[in-house]
Amino acid sequence: MKKELLMSNAMLIINPSSGKEEAMSYEASAIKVLQELYSSVTIRYTKQAGDARDLAQQASEQEFDALISLGGDGTINECINGLAGQAYQPAFGFLPLGTVNDFARALQLPLDPAEAVQVLRHQHIVPVDIGRIDQTYFMNVLAIGAIAEAVYNVSPEQKSMWGPFAYVMEGTKAFKNHTPFSLTLTHDEGVWEGDVYLALVALTNSVGGIESLAPQAEIHDGCFHVFIVKQLGITNVAQMIPELLQGNLSHHQDIEYFTTTTLQAHTNEKHIVNIDGDEGRPLPFSAAVLPHELRMFVPPDDQ
């Protein structure tokens, strides 16, 4: 459906190194679709970290109608950090070229970039929540614990060769040497304190490519879904896997689950929070949900 505006403009941000350097192979099809929808299409290429954030901020300041990202999870995260908090925001869409693509899964976007670009034709836009941790914005999950920190050891080469399984391999190494740590979480209803192995703070239903982690989570429900793993061993994991796959992990006896709109995390030990799969900052931190912060292109409800 052609966008019914006298003059309309879109910015396409391309990270040439994304998707095993396959981003450029989708450039032509993305431009073609955008030129059919918008009277003006501006193309920008990233060269270094931070470029996508700066370009997204420019798209807001110059009041583009749409911003489209052709890149991996890092590029999408940068775009969100450029859009969040702006007085004006273009509608945002992306072609998934990441390793896991959790945000795309949550939005029910096709994981094939060639199919995902066709979603733009429908011009179906919905409000989507994001999170803020201190002064940084994120789209999917915060994770705390040695297992979460193990993914920092995954190299670009491992990602290219093994995909999401690369994270599983590093997590397994950490699992062998797992030890609990003391964690204090202050949330809307009070304070949770105890020894934990892993804490996940999810905005969406998909974490690590597993779409059944928090099936109750929706892209605009206005809350974090917090999972605290209190015990972790071979027996526990064997019991958790079936419940995880069935979407019942929150009911497991060794899992503490609650929802909240704000969260403060503190520990006396040295831990670094994992933000959307990347190394974040040392604890403590404060986080909050920003309801309906973005306007996102998603598939129509009847698809």
pLDDT at 289 over 70: yes
pLDDT digits over 13-58, tens only? 999 876 555 667 899 999 999 999 999 999 999 999 999 999 999 9
What is residue 173's predicted lDDT score, i.e. its pLDDT? 55
What is residue 9's predicted lDDT score, i.e. its pLDDT? 96
What is residue 19's predicted lDDT score, i.e. its pLDDT? 53
Give the DSSP per-residue string, the chain.
Answer: -----SS-EEEEEE-TTHHHHTGGGGHHHHHHHHHHH-SEEEEEE--STTHHHHHHHHHHHTT-SEEEEEE-HHHHHHHHHHHTT-SS--EEEEEE-SSS-HHHHHTT--SSHHHHHHHGGG--EEEEEEEEETTEEESSEEEESHHHHHGGG--HHHHHHHTTHHHHHHHHHHHHT---EEEEEEETTEEEEEEESEEEEESSS-BTTBTTSSTT--TTS--EEEEEE---SHHHHHHHHHHHHTT-GGGSTTEEEEEESEEEEE-SS--EEEETTEEEEESPEEEEEEEEEEEEE---TT-
pLDDT digits over 157-176, tens only? 545 554 444 444 455 555 55
pLDDT digits over 202-234, tens only? 999 887 777 666 778 899 999 999 999 876 654
Average pLDDT over residues 92-103: 89
Domains of the chain: 9-123 (3.40.50.10330), 138-292 (2.60.200.40)
What is residue 277's predicted lDDT score, i.e. its pLDDT? 80
Average pLDDT over residues 176-199: 88
What is residue 39's predicted lDDT score, i.e. its pLDDT? 94
Q: pLDDT > 90: what percent of the chain?
A: 56
What pLDDT band is residue 241 in, cutting at 50, 70 and 90?
Answer: very low
pLDDT at 237 over 90: no
pTM, to two decimals: 0.83
What pLDDT band is residue 301 in, cutting at 50, 70 and 90?
Answer: confident
Q: pLDDT > 70: what percent of the chain?
A: 75
Q: For the chain, give the mean pLDDT.
A: 83
Ranked by mean pLDDT, the top range of 59-63, 110-114, 276-280 is: 59-63
